[in-house]
Every structure is written in structure tokens, then in C-alpha cells.
Structure 1
Amino acid sequence: MTLIHAVMWSLHVGFAILWTGSVLFVSLAVVPPATRGDVGGKLLSTVVGRLRWITRIGALVFVATGGHMAGQLYTADTLTGTGAGHLVLTMIALWFLITGLVEVAGSKAVAGLDGDIAGAAADAKPFFYAAAGLSVALILTAGLLANPFGL
């Protein structure tokens, strides 16, 4: 393994931990109290804004690092014809879905901050929860891919 591979792997995994953890934190620790009106608009806006920036920066990091890793480890045939390749494709699909859900949820959460904060959070809640569920699926898929004992 070269230094560049180690750096790419570390950046990819590190950012994946930050991103999925942030999605889970916002979905499970911030949104529920926000729907009860226990979180102020400024705090909700700040937390959701940071999650959206982590998501957007993560997209750049994941394309660069994941592209490097996929280019080194897979061909079109191994991506479409092996179990590991299918897991990589599943992770890419989950990444796109979670990213879209976070963007929709974030837009809904901040749309009502001038008035009904609890209502805006409630509108965003199903999208955040779907993103959280898919984040767990992404983590499980990554675990299967990293499993040294095979599928």
C-alpha cells in the first residue's frame, strides 16, 4: 500500500464517519426536540446548515477518494460482477439518496424558521429519519465490504 492509498482511504473513512454521525445526530438528537418547540430557530438553522455543508464538502471528498479507490481496486466487470463490487455500487446509491434527503430535509427545516419552528422541523422530520435509516444501511454495507472473512 502506498502513502497515497493510505491517505485516500483515511480521508474517505474519516469523512464517512463524520457525515453519517452528523446525519444521525441531527436526525435523532436535534429534530425531535425541535418538533416539540424546544430548540430555537437560530440553533436549528446553525446545526442544519453545518450538516448541509458537511454533506456538500463530503461529496467532493467522496468523489475524489472513492474515485481513487475504485479506480485502483475495481474494473467495470468487478464492480458489476462481484459481491464486493455490488456493495460498492450499493454504497454509491445510498450516498446519493442520503445526500438528496439531507438537502430536502435541510430546506424544509429552515423554510419555516421565521414562524413555526416546530412545524418546519416536523415537515423535515420524515426526510431526516429516512436519511438516518439509510445512513445505518450505509454503515452496515461498509462493514460487509470491509469484512476480512468474505461475504
Structure 2
Amino acid sequence: MIDLVLARTTHLLVAAIWAGSVCFVALSVVPAARDGVFTTTDPLTTLLGTLKRVSRASSVLLLLTGGHMAGRIYTSETLVSTVNGQLVLLMTALWLVLTILVEVAAKRFETGLDAKQLRGPARETLGLFRAAAVVSLALLVVAGAISSNAATLL
């Protein structure tokens, strides 16, 4: 039982850090770059590197902790036949989408930064980063629904 408590706590903390990082970049860093606040590419390169490290580490940790919890709580049948199981599957799909969005957006932004451009890459990737922020918030909502056992309210 203690393994589930530790896995759930770690899972939610890592998800919150990942979601917060993505939202901060999407709502603050990229718009600031688009608006010309930065005069050099160096801080943006550093921030994107940090975001990618946080995102990659979070993806792995969430896969491990989520896989452990799913393996201990659900069977293949209950994953598809119960509301909470279906929420776990939805969470898995959102996790994959968020991972891809962050990787693609960061890579496109970095490509522009490598060409010593600031505003253009920010403008071009803002939509991807905003989509990633929305997906990260959706992940937290689904996590809250699972954690609070909201399926019993239906």
C-alpha cells in the first residue's frame, strides 16, 4: 500500500511541475520573446533546454509511476470497462500528446534561435506551446478526477 501512496504522490508532484513549466513558457517566455523583450538568444536557449530536460524527465517518471499504479490497481478489463480506467487511458493519451507538443515546439523554436532569430520563432511556435499548456492543464484535471474518485459521482 505504501508503494501506491509514494507512486501517487510522486506522480502528482511531477505532473504539477511539468504542467507549471509548460504553462510558464507558453504564457510568459514565448510571448515575451515574440514581443521583443529579449535582446539575445542565450537566455531563451537556456530556458528551452531546461524545459526539455524537465519535460523528458517528467515523461519518464510519469510513465514509471503511472505504469506502476495502473498495474497494481487495474486489470486490462477494468482499464476499458470502468470510468477511472478510461480516465487512465485518457491520461496516457494526453501524456503522449504533451510530450510530443513540447518536443516539437522546443525544437522549432531552437532551430530559429540557432539562426539568431528571436521574434519569428516565438511567433511561429506560440500556438504549439499554448496547445501544450492546455493539454497539461487537461492532464491535471483528469488526475484530479481520478484522485478524487469522481467516477463515483456519476
Same fold (TM over 0.5): yes
Residue 141 of structure 2 corresponds to which residue in structure 1?
140
Deviation at 1:148, TM superposition (A): 4.2
Q: Does 1:75 align with 2:81?
A: no
SS in 2 for 1:112: helix
Q: Does 1:28 align with 2:27?
A: yes
Residue identity (%): 40
Cα-Cα RMSD = 1.3
Q: Does 1:111 align with 2:117?
A: no
Q: Which has the higher contact order (CA 8 A, sep 6+)?
A: 2
For 1:49-74, what per-residue CA distance to the aligned partner results, in whole angstroms no more than 9, with x for missing partners? 11111111112111211111000000
Of 70-79 and 7-16, the range deviating more from structure 2: 7-16
Deviation at 1:41, TM superposition (A): 1.1
Matching of residues 3-14 of structure 1 within 5 Å = 4-14=3-13
Deviation at 1:83, TM superposition (A): 0.3
**Which residue type is aligned with residue 26 of structure 1?**
V
Q: May I ask how many residue pairs the two structures share in their alignment? A: 150
**Which residue type is aligned with residue 58 of structure 1?**
S
TM-score between both structures, scaled by the size of structure 2: 0.92
Deviation at 1:124, TM superposition (A): 1.2
- Whole-angstrom CA distance in 2 between matches of 1:99 and 1:73: 24
Cα contact 2:12–2:143 (8 A) shared by 1: no
- Whole-angstrom CA distance in 2 between matches of 1:94 and 1:100: 10
SS in 2 for 1:132: helix
For 1:44-99, what per-residue CA distance to the aligned partner results, in whole angstroms no more than 9, with x for missing partners? 11111111111111121112111110000001111001100111011110010011
Flag structure 2 segments of 5+ consecutive residues without an equivalent: none
Cα contact 1:108–1:121 (8 A) shared by 2: no
Matching of residues 44-59 of structure 1 within 5 Å = 44-59=44-59
SS in 2 for 1:37: coil
Deviation at 1:115, TM superposition (A): 2.3
